Amino acid sequence: MIENVTARSILNSRGEWTIEVTLRSGEWKVTASVPQGESRGSREVVSLPADQAVKNILEIIAPTIIGHKLGDQNNFDDKLKKLDGTPNKEKLGGNALLGVSMAYSRLSALSANLSLWQYLRELAIPSVKNAQHSVLPVTPPRLLSLMIEGGLHAPGASPFQEYLVLPRATTIIESINIITKLYSTLRQLISDRFGSSATRLGDEGAFAPATNDPLAPFALITEASQASGLADKFEVGLDAAADNVSLNPEELNILYDQARMNYPLRYLEDPFKENELDNFVSLLTKFDKGLMIAGDDLTVTNVERMKLAQAKKSINAMIIKPNQIGTVTETLEAVKLAREYGWKVIVSHRGQETNDDFIADLAWGIGADGIKLGAPARGERVAKYNRLLEIEATLLT
Ligand code: 2PG
Ligand code: MG
């Protein structure tokens, strides 16, 4: 059972405060820390300032959870949810709840002598079974790795937020070999073309050359792939994060058509603003096969938002971010519903990260179709790649 709870403020990757939670049971001690979004969906749960969230954990949550048995994730998270009692977790903070919920998963895994990903897998299997997947495959999530960024993550660079590559490979290590080779070739290409100062990194570790042409980054990625002998080794993806883009739907549709025609576009996230569901619907009708059209700000890991999206048949994939909803159990409920709808499930990092690698375990554990990460640079991004590798290494031996 939980014997001790502590929490404190720590720094995130953008020099802002976030929270870290520590739980103890006997000899076992675990910590978890919580990322934050920069381009947030308006319906995400509330993330309170770190000092307030810490205070809520110490004064309100701790007295309630001390003594709670381990390995009881659903009831534990339900207790947290009820303690908060608001639909958007504004009373105690979605960040406070998630830090405690993640740490509880780690502690429960330890007590059951399981790796975190195995523990999460056991929680996810029954739900996946209901969705007619009798066995949850232990296959690696496909990487969606950021190469060039713009939008809110690199103001003054490109208008869209994320230009991603999806390696064609069967293992994590093979995928990482492709993206690291591409990443270093891209650095040289950008330096040669725009000068060495253009190789500055955005918030998620990717390059951020200034351009007004929203598709120019794909041209750079293509050129780098040819220079490094990687043509055909990956497909590309785009997170338009359209809520922060000034182009209108007509202009956006033209750009998506061009991208689809000229590049191996496989993945498109938040192509329109979160309240423009009808535009998603027509895009999906046009591109249903062969293109993942994913909700992020649209769906915010929230089953109610997902039901709306499905009622109109507006997407065929979705981003899963635990901190959009606030507990591990609710995250897994969103995964379950996405599977029932036949959507692809992509676990994702956030703009402001910590070194916590929970999402790597989550992606392996739920058998996610993909995991969206930053570039293979900056410690908080690298931590996730290295954990994916570590899990793969244990599976291959
Ligand atoms: C996104 C994320 C992660 P943020 O939009 O998908 O890249 O950004 O965490 O800033 O919302
Ligand atoms: Mg997004």
Q: Please tell me whether the overall predicted TM-score, pTM, comes out greater than 0.85 for this model.
A: yes
Residues with CB under 6 A from ligand 1: 37-40, 162, 204, 239, 241, 296, 348-351
pLDDT value for 133: 45
Distance 303 CA to ligand 1 centre (A): 19
* Residue whose CA lies nearest to ligand 1 atom number 3: 350
Name residues of the chain where pLDDT drops below 70. 126-137
Instruction: Judge whether 3 counts as a catalytic residue.
Output: no
Contact 296, 306 (CB under 8 A): no
pLDDT value for 137: 66
> Which ligand 1 atom is nearest residue 350's CA?
9
pLDDT value for 129: 47
Distance 162 CA to ligand 1 centre (A): 9
Closest CA to 204 of 36, 389, 364: 36
> Which ligand 1 atom is nearest residue 319's CA?
6
The pLDDT tens digits of the residues spanning 242-265 come to 999 999 999 999 999 999 999 999
Distance 38 CA to ligand 1 centre (A): 6
Closest CA to 345 of 162, 139, 189, 190: 139
pLDDT value for 217: 97
pLDDT value for 289: 81
What span, in angstroms and rounded, lies between the C-alpha atoms of 324 and 40?
9
**Across the beta sheet with 28-33, what order do the strands follow?**
4-11, 17-25, 28-33
pLDDT value for 128: 53
pLDDT value for 135: 56
